[in-house]
Amino acid sequence: MSIKLTVEFLGLSRQLAQTKSCLVEVDDQATLRDVVRQVAQRFPALLGPVIVPNTYDLEAAYMLNVEGKRAVRDLDTPAEDNQRLILMFLEAGG
């Protein structure tokens, strides 16, 4: 069985992917790292500047935001059906 998620791109990730968002389909046992891996395969320009090659971690300046509500730093978190993930630059501030 599979699940579908939407990944939205902001800032540099949007420039590199050349799209605002994409639909990702993964196995129902997948983690957010599996989602990032699939995004990297579809948008190889993200490898290096945004996504770490081989490990599929995010570069330190980036994070995934779930539903516009919470940041996820642990990419081994299980992915959920119909989730909306935002790949974004961590903004400095205080």
Cβ atoms 88, 13 nearer than 8 A: yes
Which secondary structure element, helix H or strand E, spans residue 37, and what is its range? helix 32-42
Instruction: Locate the domains of the chain by residue range.
Output: 2-89
Note the pLDDT tens digit of each residue in 29-52: 999 999 999 999 999 999 999 999
pLDDT at 94: 47
pLDDT, tens only, 63-83: 999 999 999 989 999 999 999
pTM of the model: 0.94
Q: Which CATH class is domain 2-89?
A: alpha beta
Please state, as a whole number, how many other Cβ atoms lie within 10 Å of the Cβ of residue 18: 9
Is residue 92 pLDDT above 70, yes or no?
Answer: no
